[in-house]
Structure 1
Amino acid sequence: MFTEVFNHFFEHQLKGSIILEIYESDIPKFIKGNSELLRKQKSSGWPMMYDSDDEMEQTLIEGGYKYIIIMSAYGMNGWVLAKNYEIIARKIKE
């Protein structure tokens, strides 16, 4: 569960996606790792209006946002920028 979500991006959203790992990384890695996507979407104001990568980095860090990466074996891969998250395990019905 994510709270206070700033933005997100997912590829290959499929029913029955199998998530392998959810982990947190730092905001500078978010900007570096998504530079092409950010460059392509900047004129659209996505994920925010900004003049420089440094400005975006400062806004996200000062806002207390976390870069949460989701990796899967099947289906959805992507990331969420949010202030908090909690992993809730649920037993699969047999």
Structure 2
Amino acid sequence: MALTNKDIEKLVEKFKSVFTTKEEFQFLKSEFKELKNDVLNSHDEIMKKLNDMSTDKIVMMGQYRRHDTTIEDHEIRIKKIEEKVLVA
């Protein structure tokens, strides 16, 4: 049983709907590039926010250490004053 031209045309029509054409592939490729760019841009924004938060944390730790030292100094001074007042 040989294929007729009509059978071949039917097969060609079926395969057109099954296989991706070059134009469709290019469209998908460009869509994927846009999606990739969007993802990378959001990634950049997230990384910037994390970097800002890390910088803020470093600054806050420095301030905490400075305040902690000041509080310790005040506690020592208060104890000395209390000792002098309670002795007198």
Establish whether TM, by shorter chain, passes 0.5: no
The structure richer in helix per residue is 2
The structure richer in strand per residue is 1
TM-score of the two chains, using structure 2 as the length reference: 0.20
| Larger relative contact order, structure 1 or 2 (CA cutoff 8 Å, min sep 6) | 1
